[in-house]
Structure 1
Amino acid sequence: MDRVIVYVDDAAYAQQVLAPLFAREAAAPTQWVLVACAPRMTHRISKWVSHSARENWRTKWADKLFAQILPGLRAPANSVTTVVAKGPLVELTEQLQAAQPSAAQVVDARRPKSDAPEDAEKGQKAGRRWPTPRPGTLMGSLLTGFGTLWVLALE
């Protein structure tokens, strides 16, 4: 039996990435280990939320994620194991690999942190605070007036 460890954080993206793997592996029996990688919380959140509340939120988030992904596996329920990542993924991978004698294939199906074209557009929009004044408009006249006042005040 083949073993596949899959790291996921977004169901839609993971299904796109794993679709070819699901189709290829349909014939062979496969033990799937789905690892939910919850979004990181800042260290300052502990000021407002208890540790148990954070763990409960992480578990509920993972349950929703697994509910979206499991129907796409089209595999018997006994061949899927779900895990919620609570620490570094390197250590978790070593633990999961050590649990079975045979090596497992590891697939990272997490959504990339940044998409270059979208971030560039957001950066351009965020960098411009004020609209460019057009000549003959109220804002253009106000800016010209303020500039003239500053010149007179500095003289």
Structure 2
Amino acid sequence: MKRIFAVCGGSLLAVLLLTVAVRAEEVKSKYFTLDIPSGWKVEMSQEKEGLAFFIVADSQKKNLVNITITSLPEPMSAKELCTMTCDSLKAAGVQVGEPVVSGETYAVEFSQGEAQGWQYFTSIGKLASTVSFIGDGGKEVLQKNLKPVDPKLFPASY
């Protein structure tokens, strides 16, 4: 379970502290396709057994999107994933709001310094997604450009 905390909490912190730059016009994984809008670029794209991790940002890095897909060792609900990750983030000094439920997804608003955004948790048994965005532009990018292979693995709306 600690590994799950590290993956989910770490993915949000990675969004807040970007350092790697890679260029692409589309992020394609076995879980989704994300068309990258003009003025945005892929900052990180990694997919290996049990973990898929992607970050895209606008040119000023004021708007960021992070998508993490995790293969869990045992089935876990979105609520459990949200609770554990929020506890981990709070311990790391991130301000986290109260969870909001929308269908099968739990969402929380977060902030650290000037960075503010939302993080969404969705689970379908042993597979979970954590989708985060910082800035108003990230929400629009997700809503318009994310095409999930299995819509149950992602929030219905952001």
Say yes or no: TM over 0.5. no
Which has the higher Rg, Structure 1 or Structure 2? 1
Structure number with higher strand proportion: 2
Give the TM-score of the pair, scaled to structure 1.
Answer: 0.29
Structure number with higher helix proportion: 1
- Greater relative CO (CA pairs within 8 A, separation 6+): 1
